[in-house]
């Protein structure tokens, strides 16, 4: 990565994608290089620098998984431990459901609990405990160990397990067991610490001018209870230093081991197969999602995770066999388009090619036409008189801040799968049929309701 070239290139990409500010970081041969461009907020005009903090969003789940696997290393739990052995009061609305949820289910999005519940239960140190208690009214989506459905709630439950077994708040566990041992000085978990750093503000669609430039959000961070699922905020440098620990099978740049070799490698092994629902991803590991890039015509394993919060988008890719990783941090809902373009440009510089969905003209999506719902989303697949199929989604996601989601044309990828473009990034969906239900899968399961 030629830093001088990337500074100018990143500024151009920010302008093209209506992203006020961004960082791009590359880790190779133990060296980290970061390009920064733009501003932290269109209200203030403060410049983005290499030490500016962006919200990592759901990349946080890799950190929470690391904390859980440390507990496994210490012999306090196993992946097969039922959650109720540690949290005896854990319940959801479906009687008996919580009794068979295991630690592994939480880390692989297979707990079956409705995942997109962003309940604000206050800002106290007991907020994670209170959030888990609030799940007593949460619906079940699938049986524990059933189909994967992306689950923020499950990672908050995992965070509560960390709190109970470490006898400290999740935020303090992150500091004591990850950031301090690794010497990471530009990472925070609480909104109250943001003024201590140069910190990016998210930008969202202006509801009074939906076709105009994005505007700063009026809510900076999700409720504190969502911390274990997605609130870690930091610089590209510190995100890559953390990632370097995983590439080093648990040993950080300081030389301190924070995770066993077995646990670091287990996180990267496929636990849930995704080949039936994706032409891009092989599967989900413990925290990480697993895919194959190519180099010189040969597959190269990559583990990755993205993050979306209120007007901020982030992406991390790591290549364990190469000792290489890179990340992109942005402060706009339009960030995914910039992220995808950076992915392809940086990949080319590294001699790597990312997989893309296998678009085909032969995919018949007629059986999938209809309306599907989850606790956060309502999506309808419909066909226009000209034969084009569209996906229309109504979202309650706090990341959108009430902005409308435009209707999108779909492109079949075969086997009941299709793609749509969301904020410039191609996203793949799949139509699934079980004995008792039909679903639309786009990381989350939406159940057919019409």
Q: Is 58 a catalytic residue?
A: yes
First to last CA, the chain: 51
Q: Are 107 and 286 in contact (CB under 8 A)?
A: yes
Q: How many CA atoms lie within 13 A of 22 on its CB side?
A: 33
User: Of the candidates 227, 263, 250, 254, which has an alpha carbon nearest to the alpha carbon of residue 78?
Assistant: 263
Q: What is residue 106's three-state secondary structure?
A: helix
Distances (CA, A) of 430 to 33, 61, 64, 259, 381: 37, 24, 28, 35, 12
Pick the catalytic residue: 58, 149, 263, 334?
Answer: 58
**Residues near 211 by beta carbon (within 8 Å), at least 6 away in sequence:** none
Q: Which helix (H) or strand (E) holds 374?
A: none
Q: Where are the alpha helices (DSSP H) in 282-415?
A: 335-349
Distance CA 112, CA 406 (A): 29
For residues 338, 344, 350, 353, the Cα torsion angle rounded to the nearest 10 degrees is 150
Residue 294 phi/psi, 5° resolution? -130, 150
Give long-range contacts, CB 8 A cutoff, 24+ apart: 217-220: 217/310, 217/311, 217/401, 218/401, 219/310, 219/398, 219/401, 220/191, 220/194, 220/310
User: Of the candidates 273, 246, 269, which has an alpha carbon nearest to the alpha carbon of residue 257?
Assistant: 246
Q: Are 112 and 101 in contact (CB under 8 A)?
A: yes
Dihedral sign from CA coordinates of 3, 4, 8, 11: positive
Q: Is 88 exposed, middle or buried (0-12, 13-18, 19+ CB in 10 A)?
A: exposed
Distance CA 251, CA 258 (A): 6
The two three-digit tokens of residue 311, written as one number: 């007007």
**Residues taking part in catalysis:** 58
């Amino acid at each position: 990565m030629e830093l001088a070239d990337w500074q100018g290139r990143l500024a151009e990409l920010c302008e093209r994608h209506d992203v006020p500010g961004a960082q791009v970081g590359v880790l190779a041969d133990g060296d980290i290089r970061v390009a920064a461009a733009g501003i932290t907020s269109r209200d203030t005009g403060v410049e983005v620098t290499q030490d500016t903090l962006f919200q990592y969003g759901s990349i946080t789940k890799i950190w929470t998984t690391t904390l859980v696997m440390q507990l496994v290393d210490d012999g306090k739990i196993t992946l097969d431990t039922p959650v109720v052995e540690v949290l005896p009061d854990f319940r959801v609305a479906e009687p008996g459901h919580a009794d068979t949820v295991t630690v592994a289910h939480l880390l692989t999005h297979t707990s079956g609990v409705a995942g997109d519940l962003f309940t604000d239960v206050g800002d106290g140190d007991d907020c994670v405990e209170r959030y888990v208690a609030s799940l007593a009214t949460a619906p079940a989506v699938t049986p524990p160990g059933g189909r994967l459905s992306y689950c923020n709630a499950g990672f908050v439950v995992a965070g509560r397990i960390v709190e109970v077994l470490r006898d400290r708040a999740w935020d303090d566990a992150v500091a004591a067991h990850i950031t301090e041992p690794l010497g990471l000085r530009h990472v925070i978990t609480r909104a109250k610490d943001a003024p201590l750093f140069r910190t990016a503000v998210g930008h969202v669609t202006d509801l009074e001018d939906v076709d105009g430039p994005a505007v700063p959000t009026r809510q900076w961070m999700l409720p504190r209870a969502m911390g274990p699922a997605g609130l870690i905020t930091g610089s590209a440098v510190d995100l890559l230093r953390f990632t370097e620990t995983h590439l080093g099978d648990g040993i950080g740049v300081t030389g301190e081991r924070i995770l066993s070799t077995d646990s670091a490698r287990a996180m990267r092994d496929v636990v849930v197969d995704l080949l039936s629902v994706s032409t891009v991803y092989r599967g989900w590991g413990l925290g990480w999602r697993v895919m194959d890039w190519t180099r010189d015509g040969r597959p190269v394993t990559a583990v990755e995770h993205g993050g979306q919060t209120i007007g901020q988008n982030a992406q991390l890719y790591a290549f364990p066999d190469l000792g290489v990783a890179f990340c992109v941090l942005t402060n706009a809902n339009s960030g995914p388009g910039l992220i995808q373009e950076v992915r392809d440009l940086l990949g080319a510089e590294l001699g790597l090619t990312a997989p893309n969905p296998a678009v085909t003209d032969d995919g018949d999506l007629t059986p999938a036409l209809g309306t599907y719902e989850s606790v956060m989303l309502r999506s309808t697949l419909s066909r226009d008189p000209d034969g084009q199929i569209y996906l229309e989604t109504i979202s309650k996601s706090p990341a959108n801040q009430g902005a409308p989601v435009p209707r999108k044309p779909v492109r079949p990828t075969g086997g009941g799968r299709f793609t749509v473009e969301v904020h410039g990034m191609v996203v793949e969906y799949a139509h699934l049929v079980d004995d008792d239900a039909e679903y639309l899968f786009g990381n989350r399961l939406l159940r057919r309701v019409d």
